[in-house]
Amino acid sequence: MCMSVIVLIGLAACGGGGDGEPGSAGSQLPAATRAEQDVRQDGGVGVDAERGGLTRQAGLRVAGIQITVEIADDPETRSRGLMERDSLPQDHGMLFVYSEEQVLSFWMRNTRIPLDIAFIDGNGVIVDIQGMEPHDEESRLSRQPAMYALEMSRGWFEEHGVKVGDRVEF
């Protein structure tokens, strides 16, 4: 695993199944927040316009394809995940980061958009890919222990030819 993974673990954003706090939507943002809206490069900060609040973002490559992800690396952001959103920008997703490999469990409570999820081991190898339907509260377990989970819009992995065994570069 690249050393930049350590940097990703220090970033916070959104994450997996569970109840999250409602966001404070609205266009009135403090001056510091408005200034941070434009910083969307690796490790940058963006604004979750649909729910309000800041998200941390990073760039990574999935089977050689560059994407932008929001980072979910703490219990609060992982439990909120992509809930209450109506869409994801093209080639954007959410990366859930855990401290060790384990069987991961995700559900779609309060999640409006269909997603695919790739479970990734500590070496950056995709070990499982599953589809998830909006509002489905049935848990989806990774077929193998994983340290990361990457949620993308439904069909993204298939459209880009990404499959189990492909590598994610952090």
- On whether the CB atoms of residues 20 and 83 are closer than 8 A, the answer is yes
Backbone φ/ψ region at 153: left (φ over 0), alpha (ψ -120 to 50), beta: beta
Q: Which pTM was predicted?
A: 0.72
Task: List, for residues 80-121, the tens digit of each pLDDT value.
Answer: 999 999 999 999 999 999 999 999 999 999 999 999 999 999
**CATH code for the domain in which residue 40 is found:** 2.60.120.1140
Cβ contacts of 87 within 8 Å, gap of 6 or more? 113, 153
Residues spanned by the domain of 106: 4-18+31-169
Residue 24 within any structural domain of the chain? no
Residue 70 within any structural domain of the chain? yes
Residue 23 within any structural domain of the chain? no
Structure confidence at residue 55 (pLDDT): 77
Task: List, for residues 31-76, the tens digit of each pLDDT value.
Answer: 222 222 322 334 555 545 444 556 799 999 999 999 999 999 999 9
Q: How many CA atoms lie within 13 A of 133 on its CB side?
A: 3
Structure confidence at residue 70 (pLDDT): 97
- Which segments of the chain does DSSP mark as H helices, in order? 4-9, 31-36, 75-80, 156-159
Domains: count for the chain:
1
Tokens representing 146 are 């994983």
